[in-house]
Amino acid sequence: MVTVGKIKLLRETIFLMGVDLVDFNRIDNEEVDRPEFGKEQLLEALTQITEITELKKLRNQIANVSLTIKKNARNFTRENSSEEPEYGIKTETLLKDLEQILETYSLERSQYYVKRLLKALTTKKSGKINDINLNRWKEYGDIVTDSLWIMEKRDRSGVHNAGYWGNFIPQIPQQLMKRFTKKGEWVLDTFIGSGTTLIECKRLGRNGIGVDLSKDALSTTNDNLSKEENKFSIRTELFNADSTMLDYRQMLNSVGLKSVQLVIMHPPYWDIIKFSENQNDLSNATNEKSFLDGIRSIGEKSYEILDRGRYLAIVIGDKYSKGEWIPLGFESMNELRNIGFKLKSVVVKNFDVTKGKRNQEDLWRYRALVGGFYVFKHEYVFIFQK
Ligand SMILES: C[S@@+](CC[C@H](N)C(=O)[O-])C[C@H]1O[C@@H](n2cnc3c(N)ncnc32)[C@H](O)[C@@H]1O
């Protein structure tokens, strides 16, 4: 509740800070033009607060700034959470920072927090391999940092759809690109499928280069890509080839590139889904060894053209055969480690039950109870660094 007394106090203090005051009573009741209290005014107010030498006075000023922000939230809110916080400040984070200052009991500590907030608002501390501003790390609530990824729903924004059997949810490449690339860098997808990674590239402003053995997959991808707006003017290059055999250097040369900054591999989980009749299709590998040979070959080729310090991620699940759990994920992980990649994380992601299996859930539960095994509900994202 904003009382008349508080408004008076606020009017006086903000006047002292040289900032126009909002008449809260009028705002609550009438349509009025709100005086600007945007980033500029906030910086000015905080700078003046750094001069204060009395804790009580400092707290009053912070409380007033906080109140003014609550009433002017629209000037601070970022329009959409996938946007990087370059200019727009998330009101929620800002208010939490001010709250922290209000809860501090010494002038020194309070001043430290005010100066830290000012620094966070005015300077950018960029990561080497992404666009995350580490001075504003609290604002990246959309970026996952835990090793358990529970993603309940497929992101259906943009042109994404679940039409291609065996595609992954867009959140996977989205998370990887936000953590491990900067805008304008190049991402290689060694198994394009319906183009989920390349669509995300377009949406996030990364260039994408990809390979798939299946012409049908590429035509689906082309279709999907043509519907996605190219708002960052990025490039997308598609190759119809066998990723285990292709000369990656030549592929990059043909489009004027020397290296890439992120590799994403989403192979078939061996023969769980048959993607084509082609004998080179990894879903037709005749045994586990030949499947893993394919994974190793792609890993080696990717290693050659990935910049040092940069990342490769493989998304893969296990399979069950003749009463035995086949740990394709860990076997593939070992192939990549043996090449020389440094394992950075083993992420476990919940598994989206496919439409086909949904009606059979009871049957699988029965089978599991009889057969002494557990029904697959997860897959892996193994994350490596060169
Ligand atoms: C699991 S899907 C990839 C799905 C993709 N991430 C998406 O979201 O649409 C695997 C893809 O690998 C392709 N594939 C299988 N063996 C291949 C090979 N040796 N070289 C290139 N592509 C291959 C299949 O045609 C299939 O499109």
63-112 pLDDT per residue, tens: 999 998 888 766 666 544 445 555 456 788 889 999 999 999 999 999 99
Length of the chain: 386
Of 49-58, 125-134, 255-264, 355-364, the one with minimum mean pLDDT is 355-364
CA of 267 to the centre of ligand 1 (A): 5
pTM, two decimal places: 0.84
Our answer on whether the CB atom of 266 is closer than 6 Å to any ligand 1 atom is yes
Atom number in ligand 1 closest to CA 294? 19
Atom number in ligand 1 closest to CA 217? 27
pLDDT in tens, 279-308: 999 999 999 999 999 999 999 999 999 999
Distances (CA, A) of 291 to 243, 320, 324, 355: 13, 15, 17, 26
pLDDT in tens, 152-181: 777 777 777 666 678 899 999 999 999 999
Our answer on whether the CB atom of 45 is closer than 6 Å to any ligand 1 atom is no
Structural contact between residues 79 and 52, judged by C-beta atoms closer than 8 angstroms: no
- As a whole number, the mean pLDDT across the chain is 86
Our answer on whether the CB atom of 213 is closer than 6 Å to any ligand 1 atom is yes
Please tell me the predicted confidence (pLDDT) of residue 358: 66
Structural contact between residues 336 and 344, judged by C-beta atoms closer than 8 angstroms: no
Residue among 320, 216, 207, 306 at smallest CA distance from 261? 306
Our answer on whether the CB atom of 380 is closer than 6 Å to any ligand 1 atom is no
- Give the whole-angstrom CA distance, residue 255 versus residue 244: 20
Our answer on whether the CB atom of 243 is closer than 6 Å to any ligand 1 atom is yes
Q: Is the pLDDT of residue 147 over 90?
A: yes
Q: Is the pLDDT of residue 9 over 60?
A: no
pLDDT in tens, 303-353: 999 999 999 999 999 999 999 999 999 999 999 999 999 999 999 999 866
Our answer on whether the CB atom of 217 is closer than 6 Å to any ligand 1 atom is yes
- Give the whole-angstrom CA distance, residue 297 versus residue 127: 31
The residue with greater pLDDT, 225 or 357, is 225
Please tell me the predicted confidence (pLDDT) of residue 94: 87
- Give the whole-angstrom CA distance, residue 363 versus residue 382: 31
Place of tokens 């002017």: 72
Query: Residues with Cβ < 8 Å from 226, sequence gap 6 or more?
Result: none
With b for 16 or more beta-carbon neighbours within 10 A and e for fewer, the 1-10 pattern comes to eeeeeebeeb
Distances (CA, A) of 354 to 162, 273, 351, 372, 382: 10, 11, 9, 23, 22
With b for 16 or more beta-carbon neighbours within 10 A and e for fewer, the 77-115 pattern comes to ebeeeeebbeebbbbebbbebbeebeebeebeebbebbe
The mean pLDDT value for 20-33 works out to 38
Residue among 200, 310, 308, 306 at smallest CA distance from 257? 306
Domains of the chain: 4-139 (no CATH), 148-385 (3.40.50.150)
